[in-house]
Amino acid sequence: MATLDECVIFHPLVMPEPMSGCWLWAGCSSAKYGQIRYKGRMQQAHRVFWEKENGPILDGLFALHRCDVPLCVNPDHIFLGTQQDNINDMMTKNRHRFTPRIKIPWPRVQEIKKLHETGNYSQRGLGVILGVSPRQVGRIINGESRVKE
């Protein structure tokens, strides 16, 4: 059971950011999210702060950041969504560079191949011009990209 005392223990680890209103987690973190020991196990700090404010998060839901600051634990900056919402959110915020495949329309693939064949463009350069990652350009050139219309 969460108590007010626990809240007080949390707060020395939070640094309010006056410009954005973010509460930056200064405790330990793993990967990109803050970590906190809560109810006997390590959990994502921003989830715990949201739960303290709003109640338990249902299984299968993710605590997502409006402010796009993974270390932020301000419950006002966090909303719940499904895995699909999480993906959509990443796409709109343009953080999808690690997504292994995006669907590139066939004319675009041909365009990329043609430009590459001229020998005037590096994969990186093509990526910048066409708004895809150099790795994707490489896949396209090597014919590895599966394309769906």
- Residue 94 has which token pair? 């343009």
Footprint of Zn ion on this chain (CB under 5 A)?
Answer: 22, 67, 69, 72, 74, 77
Tell me how far, at minimum, the Cβ of 79 lies from Zn ion, in Å: 11
CB of 88 to Zn ion, least distance (A): 19
- Closest distance to Zn ion from the beta carbon of 10 (Å): 16
Of 79 and 121, nearer to Zn ion (C-beta) is 79
Which residue number, 34 or 127, has a Cβ lying nearer to Zn ion?
34
Give dist(CA 93, CA 108) in Å, integer. Answer: 23
Closer residue to Zn ion (CB): 22 or 45: 22
- The owner of tokens 């702060």 is 49
50/133 with CB nearer Zn ion: 50
The CA distances from residue 131 to 1, 32, 69, 145, in Å, are 49, 25, 24, 16
- C-alpha torsion sign, points 117, 120, 125, 126: negative
How many other C-beta atoms are found inside a 10 Å radius of the C-beta of residue 17? 15
Min CB(69)–Zn ion separation in Å: 5
Please state the closest distance from residue 44 (CB atom) to Zn ion, in A. Answer: 14
Which residue's CB is nearer to Zn ion, number 33 or number 127? Answer: 33
The residue among 74, 76, 51 whose CA lies nearest residue 62 is 51
